[in-house]
Structure 1
């Protein structure tokens, strides 16, 4: 008699067959995938068949999210990474070498600025920061060895609007890769490939996922060869996204359009409300008449102001502390894109690595706050912010 040994094996069984399919994408946490033979594995690595091998090289949940983002951005073959800064790193470290030169917008996310100021120069890559609102200023920074420019369409946290069309023409004329961080604006407001961008990246952690329970990034290049270089670098250096985070991100992205529209509408209302409060020095929202780049915002974003606003209080740090304490129910946290409204203070969080002089030059005083507007009722937010501004005035 032949003994059945399958029951004594650790992993003898495959998934049960089913005539139906799941409505929700299954979570696939497996780190490794088994192939039938060495020939079958060769076929996968050589691209003759599609299959998974090792999660660092890709997994189903990452592919599902990247395909959704590709469709939103008008790209193809995009890559999920473990964080937004992993996507930035894949670009800045995967595409340049010692002796190259990189230009960045002079108002970027704090860690992107830190990479430009410290990490790239340490590796022999020269960097220059220039004003993305002025294509002439960006042009003045170009050198023969300039390889790429990194800008945000709407800057973090001062919400200035880049001269995207002028910069794209400049990059095309000089053969420079134009990299756009589209985290703030999202493809709902603008698709940078339509304006000449070569590479688009996101912190998927933020509004795309939208629930503050995911850490992910995404990058996609127009040129397949550039995309392959990014992919190889990300796989080699282990910029791997978690399957569970990808699964959560897909769930969040299903409601992205609804959340974007609701938060954007409330942000416009809150910006106008703050502008009328005594003790508020200035309010920055791209579609307000007093925004320095309003005309450009209307042309580029086509009436989409997005969900971010910034404002500055009179009274400096004492006023800022009082405001944060009094803004009951508003999370004081260095994030954006949550279902709830969050409050960020760049001087003590995202841009704390900058010197006081550098923050002052960027307009980031101790009274400056960035607000990521969530899904609360507008009247509730107006009431909370009014009370908090009053507390700030009393403390200053």
Structure 2
């Protein structure tokens, strides 16, 4: 017998090519010889060996996000927090110190305050909207500063230019989580960042069906250290999720622009409703960082807004129940609008006092605005706010 079904069938030859990127779920890749395998590991030829070390769908996606961010050699990993972890654990060691924005995403805060100390890495938190406050938090052993371009969920705009100058003068790495803003709003490398991080799960993939992260570093040695840590920890991205995210990127600009337009109009509408204590949106004149937002982002306010209603948990419950068509979920970035309540989700691990200090009350909501008809969103949110007011 010269053949068996156990052997893999070679891919058919064709004079035409697929328009859609092929999905390559293979975990293992065969090489011709030990010499060829050595050449791959030595970087003399391009090839794949084992999916934990990289695969074609991750490479294609990373290159597309690189193009958006003006980066080289970015790495796609299994989630946004995998990207944060690869950067911090790959570049920090015992005895180092990191300064983080005091309004970072809840899991990033947890990593800094609870996980990094177990590895002997110290931390301080500072107001990322104030470069002087960040400077005051520095120590002789500070190795990195981690900020978000726009904070989650309070939408404060970082003083990225001032902090970048500070980091450069002190020889400290600046890592910027650009998930909320996306490269369509701002490219951190253009402002002096050393590392850029994304939760690709959110706006870049854009359909709530792929969990991925991305991290890129300006320095090739840093890129290698991040890659080695991600490979060692097994922060591997799923080929199928990469394929889905690449598909999502093709409509990214269209989705972002429509959702941004909706967010600006919804913010204006919410601000006029009885029972709404405040609305936070970067381009609104009453935003606390309005001038900086306009200077950095122009009129690109993004698709995220936050608002606070009067009343406590009862009002919050009434609001979500009165808007059953708006997904109440602790996430963002779907093509449709989602509503989240930080006190019961992303920031539930913080004490009530810490949440209050960051302006997060039981009546505080974050909205990831989608691409629906704006009239529908205005109607649904009006009804929800009215229900919260009655409660």
Scaled by the length of structure 1, the TM-score of the pair is 0.98
Specify which of 246, 252, 260 is matched with residue 250 of structure 1. Answer: 246
> 3-state SS of the aligned residue for 1:147?
strand
Match of 1:89? Answer: 85
Distance 1:9 1:284 in 2: 61
Match of 1:383? Answer: 379
Is 1:259 paired with 2:259? Answer: no
Distance 1:11 1:58 in 2: 24
Match of 2:174? Answer: 178
Specify which of 345, 366, 370 is matched with residue 370 of structure 1. Answer: 366
> What is the 5 A alignment of 1:231-250?
231-250=227-246
> 3-state SS of the aligned residue for 1:8?
coil
Is 1:341 paired with 2:337? Answer: yes
> What is the 5 A alignment of 1:21-60?
21-60=17-56
Match of 1:352? Answer: 348
Match of 1:280? Answer: 276
> What is the 5 A alignment of 1:103-252?
103-252=99-248
- Consecutive unaligned residues in structure 2, runs of 5 or more: none
Specify which of 58, 63, 71 is matched with residue 62 of structure 1. Answer: 58
Distance 1:237 1:289 in 2: 45
> 3-state SS of the aligned residue for 2:193?
coil
Distance 1:91 1:231 in 2: 9
Distance 1:45 1:134 in 2: 44
> 3-state SS of the aligned residue for 2:125?
strand
- Consecutive unaligned residues in structure 1, runs of 5 or more: none
Distance 2:22 2:116 in 1: 39
Distance 1:393 1:132 in 2: 33
> 3-state SS of the aligned residue for 1:282?
strand
Distance 2:174 2:63 in 1: 22
**Shift, 1:148, TM fit:** 0.2
**Shift, 1:271, TM fit:** 0.2
Alignment coverage as a number of residue pairs:
391
> 3-state SS of the aligned residue for 1:148?
strand
1:269-300 CA-partner distances (Å, limit 9, x unpaired): 00000000000000000000110111100110
**Shift, 1:381, TM fit:** 0.5
Distance 1:328 1:269 in 2: 21
**Shift, 1:226, TM fit:** 0.4
**Shift, 1:13, TM fit:** 2.9
Match of 2:323? Answer: 327
Distance 1:316 1:165 in 2: 37
> 3-state SS of the aligned residue for 1:309?
strand
Distance 1:285 1:307 in 2: 9
Distance 1:125 1:13 in 2: 50
**Shift, 1:9, TM fit:** 6.0
> 3-state SS of the aligned residue for 2:87?
helix
Distance 2:9 2:286 in 1: 66
**Shift, 1:28, TM fit:** 0.1
> 3-state SS of the aligned residue for 1:99?
coil
> 3-state SS of the aligned residue for 1:218?
strand
Distance 1:108 1:12 in 2: 48
Distance 2:241 2:7 in 1: 26
> 3-state SS of the aligned residue for 2:254?
helix
